[in-house]
């Protein structure tokens, strides 16, 4: 069957297929039990080992991952080799890099003004350490997810010190273990009508526009190995609103660079819609402009909203698959796009299906299908479309050399393993093919030695 043919498989056919991991004999206990569980249902879509998203990404020099809810991860079962939890096993088999969907936000970490609660964040880091996954930190400075006490306590006299102390404490706690930090999230908002495009967030109002410079500088001091990311939404389309916003993000990144602020990547969140206007040449040009500044672009939160797609699951899957194919076709052709994360892995845990996400509910009451696995944790045609898009990723010729001022630290690309014996993660049996040198990110296939730093300094 052709790649296109695969992408057009309907959900009905998928309904007869089961998740199955390939090569179970070579897997540790927890993976073997998962494979055996699924064996009596046929035909199967093989999603494990060499068939996984992470393996296909690695084969193209890309890093694939997902956002997770640490409370749902069976950390204890994994440690004892007993887990049969399907969510945990999906995360384990599909992703090389993880981000906590909420557990590292202010609202999660700061129950009171003078206390930190790291229980969920630490659980997340333990899971990542056990399984050898890289970790993205999300986020250190945002206008949302601030704790209820914040508005009563923060003022112009103490906000700078509060932001700095928070970053030093959080980024310092996980120093050396984070691949990349979303240092500042969603700071641009054209609707606020400022010349510099900055959002009138509490941070801007209390500290002034240089709160961004402060946040990046302090994070660099607290965790010198982490890549530092400015993360933004609503900049993917060529609509007038998003074109303006994209321009203002570029202005901001140029400002940070001109002031010598340590920043390594722009996160393009990529919360896309299955209907309506789609990303086009404007975003590609933006990615290329970012490359000229010596920065990478990470796709940090991809999902596809199916709220308005008429019809049933088949129609949703067809529409969503097309968005993945078209979007990743454009973005992964850019050599400075080495990292792709989905915002969740299954429809069961997607924020788009959360009970409090009222604006996102479908008229027919059925769940949205924004991700490669559905609300029953089964692979959908989107899984195959995403995997085919990874396979099709062809890095273009590398742009001009990265300026010395943003010389990378290759150590930040190494897997983060805390002390203690890590669990073996099945090394995918990827078909032999040359791993392309993707600009900024020569990620090794797991288990292979980390390559020495390139003298031209490519390791974002």
> Which parts of this chain interact with ligand G3I (CB under 6 A)?
101-102, 105, 144-145, 185, 233, 269, 301, 351, 356
Which residue lies nearer to ligand G3I by CB, 144 or 192? 144
The Cβ of residue 311 has, within 10 Å, a number of other Cβ atoms equal to 11
Q: How many CB atoms lie within 10 A of CB 112?
A: 11
Cα 24 to Cα 30, 50, 244, 320, 428: the distances in Å are 10, 12, 51, 31, 11
C-alpha–C-alpha distance, residues 262 and 405, integer Å: 9
Residue written as token pair 């067809």: 318
Q: In angstroms, rounded to a whole number, what is the distance separating the alpha carbons of residues 446 and 460?
A: 17
Rounded to a whole number of angstroms, the minimum distance from the CB of residue 91 to ligand G3I is 16
Establish how many alpha carbons lie within 13 A of residue 78's alpha carbon, considering only the half-sphere containing its beta carbon.
Answer: 27
Q: Could you give the 3-state DSSP secondary structure of residue 375?
A: coil
Residue closer to ligand G3I, measured from CB, 303 or 413: 303
Residue nearest to ligand G3I (CB): 351
Q: Counting beta carbons within 10 angstroms of the beta carbon of residue 316, is it exposed (0 to 12), middle (13 to 18) or buried (19 or more)?
A: buried
Cis geometry, peptide bond prior to residue 290 (ω within 30 degrees of 0)? no
Give whichever of 242 and 269 is closer to ligand G3I, judged by the CB atom: 269
| Catalytic-residue membership of 241 | no
82 or 144: CB nearest ligand G3I: 144
Residue with tokens 């819609």: 273
Contact assessment for residue 347 and residue 374, using Cβ atoms and an 8 Å cutoff:
yes
Look-up: residue for tokens 């900055």? 198
Of the pair 145, 206, the CB lying nearest ligand G3I is at 145
Say if CB 139 and CB 171 are below 8 A apart: no
DSSP state of 342: E
- Is the CB of residue 408 less than 8 Å from the CB of residue 458? yes
The whole-angstrom separation of Cα 97 and Cα 76 is 20
Give the relative orientation of helices 29-38 and 86-94 as an angle to the nearest 10 degrees. 110
* Nearer of residues 96 and 301 to ligand G3I, judged by Cβ: 301
Q: Point out the catalytic residue in the list 58, 236, 301, 441.
A: 301
Neighbouring CB atoms inside 10 A of 36's CB total 13
Q: How far apart are CA 346 and CA 80, in angstroms?
A: 25
Q: Is 416 helix (H, G, I), strand (E, B) or coil?
A: coil
**Locus of tokens 């998203």:** 53
Query: What CA–CA distance (Å, rounded) separates 246 from 376?
Result: 36
Given a contact cutoff of 8 angstroms between Cβ atoms, the answer to whether 351 and 359 are in contact is: no
Residue in 186, 232, 236, 441 annotated catalytic: 186
Backbone angles phi, psi at 357, to 5 degrees: -90, 60
In whole angstroms, what is the distance from residue 287 CA to residue 257 CA? 16
Cβ partners under 8 Å of residue 295, min gap 6: 253, 257, 263, 264, 265, 266, 336, 406, 460
**CB 355, min distance to ligand G3I, A:** 7
Q: Would you please indicate which residues are annotated as catalytic (active-site) residues?
A: 186, 301
């Amino acid at each position: 069957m052709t790649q296109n043919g695969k992408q057009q498989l309907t959900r009905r056919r998928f309904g007869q297929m089961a998740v199955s991991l390939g090569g179970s004999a070579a897997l540790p206990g927890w993976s073997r039990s998962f494979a055996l569980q699924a064996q009596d249902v046929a035909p199967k879509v093989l999603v494990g080992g060499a068939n996984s998203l992470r393996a296909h990404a690695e084969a193209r020099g890309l890093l694939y991952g997902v956002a997770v809810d640490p409370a749902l991860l069976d950390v204890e079962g994994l440690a004892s080799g007993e887990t049969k939890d399907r969510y945990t096993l999906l995360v384990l088999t599909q992703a090389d890099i993880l981000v906590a969907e909420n557990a590292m936000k202010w609202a999660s970490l700061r129950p009171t003004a003078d206390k930190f609660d790291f229980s969920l964040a630490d659980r997340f880091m333990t899971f990542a350490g056990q399984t050898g996954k890289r970790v993205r930190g999300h986020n250190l400075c945002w206008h949302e997810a601030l704790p209820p006490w914040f508005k009563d306590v923060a003022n112009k006299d103490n906000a700078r010190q509060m932001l700095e102390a928070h970053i030093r404490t959080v980024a310092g706690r996980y120093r050396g273990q984070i691949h990349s930090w979303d240092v500042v999230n969603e700071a641009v908002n054209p609707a606020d009508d400022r010349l510099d495009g900055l959002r009138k967030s509490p941070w801007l109002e209390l500290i002034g526009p240089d709160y961004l410079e402060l946040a990046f500088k302090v994070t660099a001091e607290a965790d010198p190995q982490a890549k530092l990311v400015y993360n933004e939404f609503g900049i993917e389309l060529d609509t007038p609103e998003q074109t303006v916003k994209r321009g203002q993000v570029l202005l901001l990144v140029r400002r940070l660079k001109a002031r010598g602020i340590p920043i390594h990547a722009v996160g393009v969140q990529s919360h896309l819609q299955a209907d309506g206007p789609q990303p086009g040449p404007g975003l590609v040009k933006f990615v290329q402009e970012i490359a000229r500044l010596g920065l990478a672009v990470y796709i940090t939160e991809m999902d596809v909203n199916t709220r308005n797609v008429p019809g049933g699951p088949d129609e949703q899957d067809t529409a969503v698959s097309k968005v993945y194919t078209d979007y990743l076709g454009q973005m992964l052709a850019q050599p400075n796009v080495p990292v792709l994360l989905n915002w969740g892995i299954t429809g069961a845990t997607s924020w788009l299906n959360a009970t409090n996400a009222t604006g996102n509910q479908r008229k027919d009451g059925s769940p949205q299908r924004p991700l490669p696995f559905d609300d029953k944790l089964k692979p959908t045609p989107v899984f195959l479309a995403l995997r085919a898009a990874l396979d099709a990723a062809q890095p273009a010729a590398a742009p001009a050399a990265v300026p010395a001022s943003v010389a990378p630290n290759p150590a930040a690309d190494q897997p983060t393993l805390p002390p203690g014996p890590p669990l073996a993660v099945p090394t995918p049996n990827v078909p032999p093919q040359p791993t392309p040198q993707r600009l900024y990110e020569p990620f090794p296939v797991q288990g292979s030695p980390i390559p020495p730093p390139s003298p031209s300094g490519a390791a974002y």
